[in-house]
Amino acid sequence: MTIPFTTNDAGALTIGGVPATDLAQQYGTPLYVYDVERIRGAIRAYRTAFDQHNVDYAVSYAAKAFASVAMFQVAAEEQAHLDVVSGGEIATAQKAGFNMANVSFNGNNKSDDELNYALEVGLGTIIVDNDFELVRLAKLAAAKGIKQKILLRIAPAVSAHTHEYIMTGQADSKFGFDVASGQVADAIKKAEAETSLDLLGLHAHIGSQIFEIEGFVAEAEKLVELAAANHFTPRVFDVGGGFGIQYTDDDKPLASNKFIDALVAVIEKGAHANGWDTPAIWIEPGRSIVGAAGTTLYTAGSSKTIPGVRTYQTVDGGMGDNIRPALYQADYQAVVADQATAPATTTVTLAGKYCESGDILIKDAKLPAIKPGDIIALLSTGAYGYSMASLYNRNPRPAVVFAENGKSQEVIRRETWEDLTDHDLDYQG
Ligand SMILES: Cc1ncc(COP(=O)(O)O)c(C=O)c1O
Ligand SMILES: N[C@@H](CCCC[NH3+])C(=O)O
């Protein structure tokens, strides 16, 4: 399945109707560019899938995939809710003017400051991860005279097919209440007894970049089973995110409606069997909203050929703006921007500029011949790129640009060398 991208009549890459080389020239490289229409389309696809059923639902964009004021504003325009995991993401939502009632708050070690912040801004739902949090949140909410809506996060003991580091639903996980030891049963009782908490339902998340429906079905069945076993009538089941996307021609992602149809079927059946009204179904997709919409533009620099071994082609970014190849052995595909449809004539390993041998973006990429100054575009970099970017080697973080209908706009400005020393203080010792 060929990974989709758009080109103009000259065969040059365009993003949101703007030639990628123009974007590189105007904003510099490395540069993250989002095709906003694709972000909107991804949210709409989930909403349309739910609209085929007679269920209440929320498509909650998982902010961690790419958190920025502009992104949250687009999510709000598309009637998405928001799932945050830190005080910083709450602050970003506030700055974006996001309706706090539509925000949920995940995380396995929320601080008192973060919980108080959430309570003060009227954040819709707190997804309680563990007993330590449950007890503290009940007290903090009571002290403010608030009855806080919550979900309980369950570790559903479902192992998804994905990289070990991004699997989260297995029993041996740092996230959520354990089922087998009775933690879930205790937490449901405790939460129901707390007058400052309103237990809406249960939450689980099995992992990320998942292509099979089976794990989601098993997860939803587990949520139904747990609620029933604890004589708890759920108003919400939040099944998390994790829907896989296409990074290379080899990936075959499922259409959003396949996941939604399967999840709705399991939950409707469970509700019917237990005599419940069908609970609202919430999902928390991150990657599948922004991943394919994002492209990173780099400028080609030096290259090194080791005869009989390989050719390294360097770009002006790397693991600082995209840690995923180094961290998860993630695969990407690239095109040369001004000859995006030209046949591959060479094999090069795209290497970053960071002082690490592991700073490789793509091993043995098949591309047309590259010369210094060419713009190289890494496709499908919209998720967990900017959000996991670092300042390693004191390289400033790139700018982020949104492009739509032939127009572009910077939505996060490029950091400067001055920015990097902004927080440094002279040693007075
Ligand atoms: C609780 C929770 N929800 C949602 C997500 C978003 O996952 P993804 O970006 O794979 O859709 C994650 C990340 O894996 C998560 O931990
Ligand atoms: N950061 C991971 C996904 C983790 C999702 C958060 N639980 C990635 O890039 O694939």
Q: How far is the CA of 372 from the centre of ligand 2 (A)?
A: 33
Q: How far is the CA of 353 from the centre of ligand 2 (A)?
A: 23
Q: How far is the CA of 8 from the centre of ligand 2 (A)?
A: 33
Same domain, 203 and 220: yes
Give the number of other CB atoms < 10 A from CB of residue 102.
19
Is 248 inside a domain boundary?
Answer: yes
- What's the total number of domains in the chain? 2
Give the C-alpha separation, 237 to 71, whole Å: 25
For residue 288, give the ligand nearest its CA. 1
Same domain, 13 and 130: no
Ligand 1 binding pocket mutation candidate from 162, 208, 283, 290 (most atoms within 8 A of CB) = 208
Same domain, 125 and 232: yes
Locate the ligand 2 atom nearest the alpha carbon of residue 387 and give its number: 1
For residue 328, give the ligand nearest its CA. 2
Locate the ligand 1 atom nearest the alpha carbon of residue 127 and give its number: 1
Query: Which of 239, 259, 289 is the C-terminal boundary of a domain?
Result: 289
Catalytic residue, chosen from 355, 372, 390, 421, is 355
Closest C-alpha to 313, from 264, 346, 286: 346
Range of the domain at 384: 6-34+293-421
Same domain, 23 and 56: no
408 within 8 A of 23, measured Cβ to Cβ: yes
Cβ 53 under 6 angstroms from ligand 2 = no
The DSSP code sequence of 128-176 is E-SHHHHHHHHHHHHHTT--EEEEEEEE-----SS-GGGB--SSS-SSS
Q: Is the peptide bond before 279 cis (omega within 30 degrees of 0)?
A: no
Residue 414 marked ligand-binding: no
Query: Which of 256, 289, 322 is the C-terminal boundary of a domain?
Result: 289
Same domain, 120 and 265: yes
For residue 384, give the ligand nearest its CA. 2
Q: What is the CATH number of the domain that holds 255?
A: 3.20.20.10
294 within 8 A of 381, measured Cβ to Cβ: yes
Active site residue 355: yes
Same domain, 281 and 305: no
The stretches in the chain having pLDDT less than 70 are 161-168
Same domain, 207 and 353: no
Compute the radius of gyration of the chain from its Cα atoms.
23
Buried b (16+ CB within 10 A) or exposed e, 320-356: bbbbbbbebebebbbbbbbbbeeeeeeebbbbbbbee
70 within 8 A of 382, measured Cβ to Cβ: no
205 within 8 A of 191, measured Cβ to Cβ: no
What pLDDT is recorded for position 1? 87
What pLDDT is recorded for position 327? 97
Cβ 64 under 6 angstroms from ligand 2 = yes
What pLDDT is recorded for position 158? 87
Query: Which of 246, 262, 289 is the C-terminal boundary of a domain?
Result: 289
Place of tokens 């973006």: 361
Same domain, 409 and 316: yes
Same domain, 369 and 301: yes
Same domain, 317 and 272: no
Q: What is the CATH number of the domain that holds 390?
A: 2.40.37.10
What pLDDT is recorded for position 164? 63
Is 46 inside a domain boundary?
Answer: no
Same domain, 280 and 308: no
166 within 8 A of 111, measured Cβ to Cβ: no
Locate the ligand 1 atom nearest the alpha carbon of residue 286 and give its number: 9
Same domain, 234 and 323: no
Is 428 inside a domain boundary?
Answer: no
Is 26 inside a domain boundary?
Answer: yes
Give the C-alpha separation, 58 to 169, whole Å: 21
* Assembly ipTM: 0.98
